[in-house]
Amino acid sequence: MGEFNLESYLSNGVENIVKGVMKASAKNPMASVYMMQAVKENKRTRQMRQKAESEGRHIPPFLIASITSQCNLHCKGCYARANHSCCDEEDGKEKLLDAGQWEAIFEQAAGLGISFILLAGGEPFVRKDVLYAAGRQKKILFPVFTNGTLMDNDSLEMLSRNRNLLPVLSIEGNERTTDARRGDGVFCTLKQTMEDLKSSGILFGASVTIHKENAKEVLSEEFLEDLRMSGCKAVIYVEYVPVDHASMELAFDDSDRKAMQERLAVLKEEDEKMLYIAFPGDEKSSGGCLAAGRGFFHINASGGAEPCPFSPYSDTCLTEASLEEALGSPLFKRLKEEGALMGEHIGGCVLFEQEKKVKELLGGNL
């Protein structure tokens, strides 16, 4: 067997996602035009990353950016509230990046050949100024992970004008399951948001936090057919990360993960009109966790460069360093050198279970 090539693995993954989104948008003229351009742009950015690799610089194709810490919901088991990176209103204790600073980061990302920036929060639609800034960077696709409850006419107009912003609505399953975690009435609001997006001709997907209790439901044909009928074109399954020991029993183990991968393989074979993605995916085939700059890293609302959203520790801030400099974060280097990204784990994040080790590697910079 040949030597594992991380750059090729990642770039092939990006290419498959872009092609999958293009297939899903086949009957949506406005989205299709943009996605055809995105396919061409992806070839160019892949060449940029390959050139960087030949020069000894590894550029990941993805970033995750939490553009705000504010959220209007109180979802049960929310890791962001558990680690105090999410709140009802910004309290002013930490200086958040403004829209101009975020736009500069997006421009740097485009210059490096980064293809996707996943926008999260908090709830990203409380920062429309940043979303507008992202929309202006047409060379990058921005999946916007949203709870879907703040979608007004201005939001729909913004999404219609900026086809590189792809809303991804968080849903937990049927009405009972979704409302049990996200709050009474959220499911009905989500269904209305989907209807509004569909009638506006806006391409959108769904994000499902998958765990032992809802796996059967959210992988069922009934649930997926309901999403299809609502106009959804992509489903992203995000493995649940336990916020405490009491919720460990919900997290996937290897057998659960294998069953999910087998089910997704069938869905991908039978349903080419919908894109199916698992996150973090099969870490065995990718040589370990893709955090800390291997495949992506996380930028928090204040500009801190973190290994991933589930490991909120940083020694480098983008108010003082460039995006490329942040990729060389001492913490990221130590995590790779110490093998912290390669361990076995329960749930969706290898670093979440190694909090003590991450803090030790961060050393005096914590």
pLDDT digits (tens, 9 = 90+) for 321-349: 999 999 999 998 988 888 777 766 555 56
Inform me whether the pLDDT recorded for 64 exceeds 50: yes
List Cβ neighbours of 81 (8 Å cut-off, separation of 6 or more).
71, 74, 75, 87
What's the mean pLDDT in 192-205?
96
Best CA proximity match to 17, nearest among 161, 137, 135, 115: 115
Closest Cα partner for 289 from 310, 314, 262?
310
* pLDDT greater than 50 at residue 49: yes
Using pLDDT thresholds of 50, 70 and 90, give the confidence band for residue 320: very high
Please state the rounded mean pLDDT for residues 41-57: 93
Residue 153 burial (C-beta neighbours within 10 Å; 0-12, 13-18, 19+): exposed
Category of 209 on φ-ψ map: left (φ > 0), alpha (ψ -120 to 50) or beta: beta
Q: Which residue blocks in 28-88 are alpha helix, DSSP H?
A: 29-54, 79-82
Q: How confident is the model at residue 242 (pLDDT cuts 50, 70, 90)?
A: confident
Q: What is the DSSP letter of 311?
A: B
- Give the model's pLDDT for residue 346: 56
Length of the chain: 366
DSSP bridge pairs for 76: none
Dihedral, 11, 13, 17, 18 alpha carbons, nearest 10: 20
* Residue 304 dihedral angles phi and psi, to the nearest 5°: -70, 135
Q: For 110-127, how does the pLDDT look when each residue is reduced to its tens digit (9 = 90+)?
A: 999 999 999 999 999 999
Beta carbons of 323 and 110 less than 8 angstroms apart: no
Q: How far is CA 319 from the centre of its chain?
A: 22
SS3 237: strand
Provide φ and ψ at 329, rounded to 5°. Answer: -50, 130
Confirm if 336 and 288 have CB atoms less than 8 A apart.
no
In percent, the amount of the chain with pLDDT more than 90 equals 60
Q: Integer distance in angstroms from the first to the last C-alpha of the chain?
A: 41
Tokens of 267: 């869905």
User: Residue 342's pLDDT is what?
Assistant: 73
Distance CA 31, CA 144 (A): 16
Mean pLDDT of 76-81: 79
Q: 91 pLDDT exceeds 80? A: no
Given this model, what pLDDT does residue 29 score?
83
- Kindly state the percentage of the chain with pLDDT values over 70: 91
Cis peptide before 29 (omega within 30 of 0): no
pTM of the prediction? 0.91
Q: In this predicted structure, what is the pLDDT of residue 15?
A: 85
Q: Which two tokens stand for residue 154?
A: 């201005």
Q: Assess whether pLDDT exceeds 60 at residue 366.
A: no
Structural domains present in the chain: 6-365 (3.20.20.70)
DSSP code of 222?
A: H
**How many C-beta atoms lie closer than 10 Å to residue 195's C-beta?**
12
The answer to whether the beta carbons of residues 149 and 189 sit under 8 Å apart is yes
Residues 259-315 pLDDT 10s: 999 999 999 999 888 999 988 765 566 667 888 888 899 999 999 999 988 888 899
- For the chain, helix, strand, coil in percent to 5 are 45, 15, 40
State the Cα–Cα distance between residues 14 and 21, nearest whole angstrom: 11
Q: Torsion angle, CA of 26/29/30/36, rounded to 10 degrees?
A: 50
Lowest mean pLDDT among 35-49, 71-85, 164-178, 299-313: 71-85
92 band by pLDDT with thresholds 50, 70 and 90? low
